[in-house]
Amino acid sequence: MTHQAPKGTRDFFPPDLAVLRHIETAWRDASIDAGFDEIEGPTFEHLDLYTVKSGEGIVNDLFSFKRSGGDVDYALRPEFTPTLARMAAAKGRSLPLPTKWFGIPGHFRAERPQRGRLREFKQWNVDLLGIDNPSADSEVIATAIQALATLGLTHKDVVVRISHRDVVTKMLLNSGIPKDKLQVALTLLDKREKMSAEVFEEKTKEHGFETKSFTQFDCDVSIEHEELTSLQEELVAWGIQEWCTFDFNIVRGIAYYTGIVFEIHERSGAERAIAGGGRYDNLIEMFGGPSVPAVGFGMGDVVLSLVLKDKGLLKDGAHYMPTPDVFVVSACDEGDEVLSSTIAMLRENGLHARRSYKTTRNVGKLLTEAAKTQAAFAVILGKELEQNMFAVKDMKSGEQVDIPIDHLLSHLTS
């Protein structure tokens, strides 16, 4: 092979794409049923859309470029939230509130591929703008759960781990972490699960922290926090409390989150996070729009596919591919003459009609081909033509009848 696909990208052959569409359909249906409207934005943006929010360091993690001879920096979008905030800001005061948007855009990140992380992927984004109370947080979480449930997952398979930036911050400060070391402590907390207890001990000592500053998050903490109390009630109201748990080990790296944050994980801790999100009440204003509270999440196709595969919830790609209503074969010269017009007639009437391109008269071989496509019916153009009939075989039952040419359509659609 002289050409390879770029590192970290995927070729989607028909069965592969059928699997992706299966997932996207669950995402889209859940969004639409929950009253979200689909949006899309540019695949690339001005580089500074990302650097103003995340700092110059992010440049290493994304694909950026200038046009030949140009001096404007662009970047392939690594996430959708900045685009969404920009779009919301662009509407200014005409943005209806609440606004409920979702999208399934492609994203690009210049990272080293590994399990669950590729350089190009699809990510479902659901955002609810304009509602500042936890009923909005609950609604977007419920929408995520709806899609996961459609794909066959249950609350025994996955868990929504919910945290709150303010609560975590307060707990760390109360336990004696100095204010100027708060960020370090947050980062350490975020990474705690990935290291052994011993390594974690060492790290905490290195920074002069006490281990119990962090282990306080392990036991069931009853936090007096108005938002979380109210969120708890909402989760019950939405009937999703079994899927959710409060877990203050969840920090999330990004800076723009302002309150509730959450991640969805496989319950045993397999794979990376399936989804992550939270509240970003200042972001739209930061992009020059009105001050609009917002909450949303992103769910990528890569980790989700792995989890579904782990659980045996993804069938072979062929299973998700469209199957023809009818497969037409010709077994004689007279059949060849009417093959095209027969196919054309069926398609004009809205049927998914395929044909064999083989020249063989071997009906057995032709039916093998028909069976392989999972067609509902096979139509054989053969000696029955002498009586102006087609042989029509129901591929499921195996029953075969001769049908007058004029009655073919009504027979197939009845």
Partner RNA sequence: GCGAUCGUAGCUCAGUCGGUAGAGCACCGGGUUGUGAUCCUGGAUGUCGCGGGUUCAAGUCCCGUCGGUCGCCCCA
Q: Where do contacts with RNA occur on this chain (CB under 7 A)?
A: 1-2, 4-9, 50, 54, 58, 61-62, 78-79, 81, 109, 111-115, 117, 187, 191, 194, 252-254, 272, 276, 298, 331-332, 358-365, 367-368, 370-371, 380, 382-384, 391, 393-398, 400
CA distance 151 to 158: 12
Shortest reach from residue 76's CB to RNA, in Å: 10
* Nearest CB to RNA, comparing residues 113 and 135: 113
CA distance 331 to 370: 13
* Nearest CB to RNA, comparing residues 1 and 219: 1
Shortest reach from residue 106's CB to RNA, in Å: 14
CA distances from 45 to 90, 156, 176, 241, 258 (A): 15, 40, 43, 38, 24
CA distance 110 to 347: 45
* Nearest CB to RNA, comparing residues 93 and 194: 194
* Nearest CB to RNA, comparing residues 53 and 91: 53
Burial class of 378 by CB neighbour count within 10 A (0 to 12, 13 to 18, 19+): buried
CA distance 108 to 121: 7
Are 263 and 275 in contact by the 8 Å Cβ rule? The answer is yes
Shortest reach from residue 361's CB to RNA, in Å: 5
CB count in 10 Å sphere of residue 180: 7
In sequence order, what are the residues at sequence separation of 6 or more whose Cβ sits closer than 8 angstroms to the Cβ of residue 400?
Answer: 391, 392, 393, 394
Shortest reach from residue 414's CB to RNA, in Å: 18
DSSP 8-state code for residue 272 = S
Instruction: Write down the residue that tokens 């093998």 correspond to.
Output: 368
Shortest reach from residue 353's CB to RNA, in Å: 16
* Nearest CB to RNA, comparing residues 118 and 136: 118
* Nearest CB to RNA, comparing residues 320 and 377: 377
Shortest reach from residue 395's CB to RNA, in Å: 4
